A and B are shown apart, each in its own frame.
Chain A
Amino acid sequence: MNDRGTILASIQEALKKPSVKQDIYKAEDNISELIKQVMPPVGESFDERLALFRKNAQELKAEFYAVNSTDEVVQTILKIKDAEQWKSVATHPNELTESICNRIGLPILKLTAGYDITEFEKCSASITVCDCLVAQTGSVVVSSASTGGRAISVLPPHHIVIAKKEQLAPTMSDAIALVRKKYNGNFPSMVSFITGPSRTGDIERILVLGAHGPKRLTIFLF
């Protein structure tokens, strides 16, 4: 028998013996309802959820701007660009991010298949859209479908995310439901829930940002 057969047979054999004292688990529960009841509360209104997102994201050292227009997004990015002395930015094929990049006045690397990794490595920042934001945890959800690939949201030192108001999902459950619905039957090869910039506490539990990925994560919502 090959290993597949061996393992499946052992599992089947093992599970023939009923478990001891697990009656408690037999009760029929409405799991999604229970999850809602136990997870951190998210409030009722959009404003509450926006405030919650801000609090959670900032607690994990992400920067968050709720703005009214792409103009404001560009204005703020220009300031960051000067402060951090950006040389070039990376983005993915997307109307919104490309139009923003075009107004920054820096060389743009638009990542398409077969991009040059050394060029990409030199980029000071990447600008991407997202699939949604999660108020409950302060997370940004990106995927290899929405942002074109995997590295763009993790390789450059500064990751900038542009989100729209209607993309704010209240809970983790909502975000997962959204991902499932959006990609039903055609899952992107990667979906990532990003919360705050890359971090480590591996040395004496001292928090250091930018362990491998972005040192900064900036989120715009308009």
Chain B
Amino acid sequence: MNAIALEFKKNAVRTVKDLQRRQLVKTALGNFEIARNDKVARFQDWQKARYVAAKLKWEALENLHANIQRLEENLKKNGAIVHWAATAEEARRIVSAIAKEKNARLIVKSKAMTAEEIHLNEALEKEGYEVVETDLGEFIVQLRREPPYHIVFPAMHLTRYEISDLFAQKLGSQPTDKAEELTMIARRVLREKYIKADIGITGANFAVADCGVISITENEGNARLTAALPKVMITLIGIEKVIPKLEDLALFLPMLATAGAAQLISGYNTFYSGPRKNGETDGPQEYHVILLDNGRTELLADPIERDALRCIRCGACLNVCPIYRTIGGHSYGTTYCGPIGAVITPIMRGIEDWQQLSYASSLCGACAEICPVKIILHHHLLKNRKIAATKKPVWWQKIGFKIFSKISTCPTLWSIITKCGRLLQKLHPLVKGSRLDPAYAWTKERDLPPIAPQTFKEWWRSKK
């Protein structure tokens, strides 16, 4: 097993044992489920809505080559500056060049998974810039020097008390157990940052080709302020986010909020087309849009895995995933965790290092059932497993399955094995649950039922 896989197992075990943390996550997501079902029920036909959303996003991808060029053209018309970054490194280079040119010191950021993906903060900090996350959850995990726990709710694993202690220690605030007071502490700190910031960096949810518009969804208004106050605004967006028409957002925006956040619509859905225009009183003087590939065309090139690019990063699949709920967001060790992370990471970052994420699933399919764009996530996990097993089979597994297949297809062998099993089972109590037990992986935590005195096949034969 490689180092990343070992780390994964170790972290997963640690979280599993942290019962309190698991309970916190479970309660949060449990309440969430009720609210989500209520919003889903308001749609006239949620299932058909999923179909339409899937179709729209699918067609957008099939026409990505034309759509993305149209987007570029229209963004330029609106006065934005468009950059292309094939790799994380190039994207970091572009941001850092802008920051340097503007003599920036302080950079505010609103939530951007793309920035997490390319480790932008670390890079900018290394170059001496102060980078401040403005989304409350992101701000909290940034103070803890931790990655987000969830792609939509970054600090969901923390209690009020932990956050209060954190703020007291890092910001010198008075301890409090009120979420409201904690929020206001952050608001005050961040307001000052906004006013001083030189550059605002955002992620984005959609890029609309026909108007040259970037659509950003949020609840706090922090992205709105990031886009309003600093002189320079930068949006870092994955190339899969391009859709052809503004009209499509009439469906996507409510579905995104419903599936991922149990809201009929999010607090702010904002379209940005460029820098401030003549006659507008504020807004950035420059608007940069960075189109990021960083492995996405890998996914696109795979006719089977391609549809994972439909993902609108709503987070719904994480919310319902019993594995995510059990091992938590940090165990994955990736930017994108939960089912979607387990699907795309092995393809984007290498199946050999990341295949364990595809295997760490019971394939229950709760994710596919909720996904607003109908990505059949658990079937993708199966496909990833096939790729892993074909590329680099584990020899003992391969042989094991071959032998088992021989036994199971030969009635005589099967009955011999049944009888041997029954005999060996008599010795089982000697080793049961210990490392010598051949069934250790099972019996360490569970009992194994005994082989029946008369199996079904034996019964059937005697009956006949």
A residues contacting B by CB (< 8 A) are 2-4, 6-8, 10-15, 17-20, 22, 24-25, 29, 31-32, 34-35, 37-41, 56, 60, 92, 111-115, 117-118, 121, 136-139, 144-145, 148-155, 171-173, 175-177, 179-180, 187-206, 208, 210-214
Bound CA span A121–B194, Å: 11
- Are A214 and B301 in contact, with the CB atoms below 8 A? no
- Are B219 and A199 in contact, with the CB atoms below 8 A? yes
Contacts of B172 in A (CB 8 A): none
Bound CA span A44–B267, Å: 26
- Are B136 and A202 in contact, with the CB atoms below 8 A? yes
Select A190's contact among B90, B136, B273, beta carbons within 8 Å. B273
| Residues 36 to 64 of chain B near chain A (Cβ within 8 Å) | 42-46, 48-49, 52, 54-56, 58-59, 62, 64
What total of A-B pairs shows CB separation below 8 Å? 302
| Residues 58 to 113 of chain B near chain A (Cβ within 8 Å) | 58-59, 62, 64-65, 68-69, 78-79, 83-87, 90
- Are A154 and B264 in contact, with the CB atoms below 8 A? no
Contacts of A13 in B (CB 8 A): 297, 301
Given A34-B52, A189-B275, A204-B159: A10 and B297 interface contact (C-beta under 8 Å): yes
**19 contacting pairs across A/B (C-beta < 8 A):** A3-B85, A6-B84, A8-B69, A15-B65, A20-B303, A25-B55, A31-B247, A37-B48, A39-B43, A39-B250, A154-B225, A175-B250, A176-B249, A180-B247, A195-B269, A200-B219, A202-B183, A208-B179, A211-B220
Bound CA span A201–B156, Å: 9
**Binary per-residue interface labels of chain B (228-270) against chain A in the complex, 1 for a CB within 8 Å, 0 otherwise:** 1100000000010000001111110110000000011111111
Whether a CB of chain A sits under 8 angstroms from the CB of B277 is yes
Whether a CB of chain A sits under 8 angstroms from the CB of B306 is yes
- Are B269 and A154 in contact, with the CB atoms below 8 A? no
**Nearest-neighbor residue (CB-CB) of B56 within chain A:** A31
Question: How far does the Cβ of B111 sit from chain A's closest Cβ, in whole Å?
Answer: 10
- Are B282 and A115 in contact, with the CB atoms below 8 A? yes
**Nearest-neighbor residue (CB-CB) of A211 within chain B:** B220
- Are B221 and A144 in contact, with the CB atoms below 8 A? no
B residues contacting A by CB (< 8 A) are 24, 28, 31-32, 42-46, 48-49, 52, 54-56, 58-59, 62, 64-65, 68-69, 78-79, 83-87, 90, 134-137, 140, 153-156, 158-160, 163, 179-180, 182-184, 187, 190-191, 195, 211-213, 219-222, 224-225, 227-229, 239, 246-251, 253-254, 263-277, 279-283, 287, 291, 293, 297, 300-301, 303-304, 306-307
Contacts of A24 in B (CB 8 A): 55
